[in-house]
Amino acid sequence: MVFRKRRRTSYLFFAGKGGVGKTTIAAATALWFSENGRKTLIISTDPAHSLSDSFETRIGGDTIKLSKRLFAVEIDPKKAMSEYKEKFTPKIENIGMLKGMGIDEIFDTAGMTPGIDEISAFDKFLQYMKSEDYDVIVFDTAPTGHTLRFLSLPDVLDSWIGKMIKLRVGFSGIINVFRKMLPFGSEKSEPSLGTDEFDRMKERILSARKILSDPARTGYNMVMIPEDMSILESERSLDVLKQYNIPVKTIVVNQLLPENPGCKFCAEKRSQQQKKLMSISKRFSGLNMIQVPLFSKEIRGFSELRGVGEILYEKEGKSKE
């Protein structure tokens, strides 16, 4: 991570297969940056919301202060979905009028139509992206499949809007349905929404995509464990991320067994992990790889997260001295 004297928010995403410890890694990262002088916000877009457990603090849907420079928020998918449904449910019956006009295809872009929870999560991302209130924003994202849909939203929504512009729909009531469904439109209660407004929506999406694909500002970190299923899913995810020009900087290999000559089972398991580690090194060559040991107990609280952060970023810490 390159530190800058002038504030320019950097974004770090952590994702991986369920159960690999990505929330712990994300939380430790946020704590490390905050304790090294950076105003940091950690956002959970994972419906499981284990972030509260990691910090041993109830976080919830409103941003709270955890320490001097550390803030946190958990996006509540149920609340977000409720808010979005309130916007368009009263007029949802109008969508039936779209049949036969080609607009219904907008809602099925190769099976990648985002759900309301994903749109709302991306809406939150845009809000924090514009704020410039933080030096670093860390995203503790949902398991990989959901995350990839989340990160592909700029392209998906761009496709929606592109089709709307081409069709040049002249029905203000129907257009307003879309304005209320998408998180990029004006909040003003305009009687109609023309193609100029759709162009402005598109510009916002392109701006978001530009930041997501800027390696100087955005880093996507894959968390995995030395097991075949985790390795294969991470490999597939990286292939998809490349298609969207999302910069992957680091892979974190978690839960590595330490040496224990007195335990035959431990020695055998460690030997298997070391072989997988060699495979990971070859498959993901060119990426920074960080190894994190398996701890004897679940990582919770500031003290234990601080220890994980030192493992993750000890080299950067020394380079600052």
Q: Looking at residue 144, what is its pLDDT?
A: 63
Per-residue pLDDT at 169 exceeds 70: no
pLDDT for the residue 146: 59
CATH topology of domain 10-78+118-143+216-319: Rossmann fold (3.40.50)
Helix or strand (DSSP H, E) at 224: strand 218-224
How crowded is the C-beta side of 106, counted as CA atoms within 13 Å?
22
Contacting residues for 316 by C-beta, under 8 A, at least 6 apart: 1
Interstrand relation of 40-44 and 70-74 (parallel, antiparallel or unpaired)? parallel
> What residue segments make up the domains of the chain, in order of their start?
10-78+118-143+216-319, 89-113+152-209
Residue 10 β-bridge partners:
136
Confidence of residue 120 (pLDDT cuts 50, 70, 90): low
Q: What is the pLDDT of residues 79-91, one digit of tens each?
A: 666 665 565 444 4
Share of the chain above pLDDT 70, in %: 60
Residue linked to tokens 């992957």: 248
Q: What angle do helix axes 144-151 and 116-131 make, rounded to 10 degrees? A: 60
Q: Is 243 helix (H, G, I), strand (E, B) or coil?
A: helix
219, pLDDT greater than 80: yes
Average confidence score pLDDT of the chain: 76
Give the residue-averaged pLDDT of 104-108.
47
pLDDT of residue 137: 93
* Torsion sign (Cα): 239, 148, 209, 89: positive
CA–CA distance, 50 with 60 (Å, rounded to integer): 11
pLDDT of residue 62: 87
Predicted structure pTM score: 0.77
Instruction: Give the pLDDT score at 2.
Output: 42
Higher pLDDT pick, 55 / 319: 55
Give the model's pLDDT for residue 256. Answer: 96
**Percentage of residues of the chain with pLDDT beyond 90:** 37
What's the pLDDT score for residue 314? 80
Report DSSP state, residue 8: -
**Average pLDDT for 108-133:** 60
Q: Return the pLDDT at 147.
A: 60
Which of the two residues, 101 and 282, has the higher pLDDT score?
282
Predicted confidence (pLDDT) per residue in 247-265, tens digit: 788 999 999 999 988 899 9
